[in-house]
Amino acid sequence: MKKINSLSIYLLLLCTLCLSVWSCKEKEVTEAPEVAPRLYDISPNEEANMQLATNFIDAIISNKQDQIRSMVAADFMFYGPASKDSVNIDQLVVNWAVADSLRSNQNPGVLAMTSLRVNEGRFMGDWVHVWGNYSANVNNSDFVYDVPWHHAYFIENGKISLGRTWFDRLQSSMDLGVVVPAPSN
């Protein structure tokens, strides 16, 4: 019985010694996994960029040519709605001057706007995206434009250097009779 009792004491002592050694051992520090940078964030220039886009759209609709030119970079280009459509600032001003002479009650109908900063890649920089529903009356006609649209503006140094628009030009062209659908067979 004395042998079993001393064996129990030795085992208890051995367990205590092992526990003491194990608890004094330094713990391995595991590094937190590296977090990939975000593709985009809200732009730190959010308010100023959205105000620039708003002012640009208002100047276009109201045909304020000097204001339009003052808000864009020297190499400004505007693309869309088709992938091959592009105009520089002079052509854009002329196009909207013609539209202004043919239409009344123009309203861009801005619905939503975001201002983001792309952090890497080909599109790196500040962008403003605007969604709206353009409406206008055609002078001397009952026709009313009702066209949903989306614009994206690239902002550099407080100026718009690139614009891109998407909208359905076909529907209003068909409604005006400018484009006639092909006859069905």
Confidence of residue 11 (pLDDT cuts 50, 70, 90): low
Q: Specify the higher pLDDT residue, 88 or 170.
A: 88
Can you tell me the mean pLDDT for 155-163?
97
Confidence of residue 22 (pLDDT cuts 50, 70, 90): low
What is the number of domains present in the chain? 1
**CATH assignment of the domain containing 59:** 3.10.450.50
Is the confidence at residue 82, as pLDDT, over 60? yes
- Asked if the structure places residue 15 within a domain, the reply is no
- Greatest CA separation found in the chain? 118
- Asked if the structure places residue 133 within a domain, the reply is yes
Distance between CA 42 and CA 31 in Å, rounded?
Answer: 29
Q: What pLDDT digit, counting tens, does each position of 50-63 carry?
A: 999 999 999 999 99
**What would the two tokens of residue 14 be?**
């051995």
- Asked if the structure places residue 1 within a domain, the reply is no
Q: What pLDDT digit, counting tens, does each position of 88-146 carry?
A: 999 999 999 999 999 999 999 999 999 999 999 999 999 999 999 999 999 999 999 99
Distance between CA 90 and CA 16 in Å, rounded?
Answer: 87
Task: Give residue 134's domain range.
Answer: 40-176
- Asked if the structure places residue 158 within a domain, the reply is yes
pTM over 0.85: no
- Asked if the structure places residue 125 within a domain, the reply is yes
- Asked if the structure places residue 7 within a domain, the reply is no
- Asked if the structure places residue 84 within a domain, the reply is yes
What rounded mean pLDDT belongs to the chain?
A: 89
- Asked if the structure places residue 73 within a domain, the reply is yes
